[in-house]
Amino acid sequence: MVLSELKVGEKAEVEGLLAESGVRRRILDMGLVKGTKFKVLRVAPLGDPVEIFFKGMYLSLRKNEAADVLVRKIGETGDGAPMREGRGGRQSGS
């Protein structure tokens, strides 16, 4: 499935990028590479763009761009809080 099909609160992992050159470059630079886990935080009031959270940062992208990101759903938490896992680095206490 693709990122734009995810609902608010769902977590997923990036599997690859469909996009051509320009957009893909920017998405890659932002760190949405294969294996990155993220959570869909919210959708803007008018239904587009969406905001996702990963690696400790908040990123917004239009559904149009989100449709170019191939993802695999890995669960959902349901609330609007950003997830803490999937963030780079060791977790304390582990």
Partner 1 sequence: MGMRREIRVALAGNPNSGKSSLFNGLTGSHQKVGNFSGVTIEKYEGYVDHQGYRIRFVDLPGTYSLTPYSPEELVTRKFLIEESPDMVVNVVEGPNLERNLLLTTQLMEMEVDLLVAINMYDEVEERGIEIETEQLRGLLGCPVIPTSAKKKQGLEALLDHVVRVFEGDIDIRKNKLGFRPEVDGAIREITGLLRHEPDLSRFNPHWLAIKLLENDREVYGLVRDYPLWLKVERVLQRVLGETERLYRTDPEVVITEDRYAFIRGVMQECVLTPGEGRVSLTDRIDRIVLNRVLGLPIFFFIVWLVFQLTFTLGTPLMDGLDLFFGTIADAVSPLLVNETLRSVIVDGVIAGVGGVLIFLPNIVLLFLGLSFLEASGYMARAAFVVDKVMHRFGLHGKSFIPLITGFGCSIPAIMATRTLKSPSDRLATIMIIPFMSCGAKLPVHILLAGAFFEPSVAGNVVFGIYMFGVVVGLLSALLMKKTVLKSESEPFVMELPPYRWPTARSVFWQSNIKAMMYVRKAGTIILLAVLLIWVASNYPKNPAIDAALERQIATIEAGELSRGAKDVAIADAENSASAEKLEYSVAGRAGRLMEPLIRPLGFDWRIGVALVTGLAAKEVVVSTMGTIYSLGETDETSPELKTILKNDPVFDRATALSLMVFVLLYIPCVAAIGVMRKEVGTWQAVALYSGYALTAAWVFSFLTYRLANLFL
Print burial letters for 73-87: b (CB count within 10 Å at least 16), e (below 16): eeeeeeeeebbeebe
How many Cβ atoms sit within 10 Å of the Cβ of residue 64? 12
Minimum CB distance to partner 1 smaller for 6 or for 49: 49
- Check residue 44 for interaction with partner 1 (CB under 8 A): yes
- Check residue 62 for interaction with partner 1 (CB under 8 A): yes
The correct pick among 1, 5, 7, 34 for binding partner 1 (CB under 8 A) is 34
Which positions lie near partner 1, rule CB under 8 A? 16-17, 21-31, 33-35, 41-49, 51, 55-62, 64-65, 80-82, 84-85, 87-94
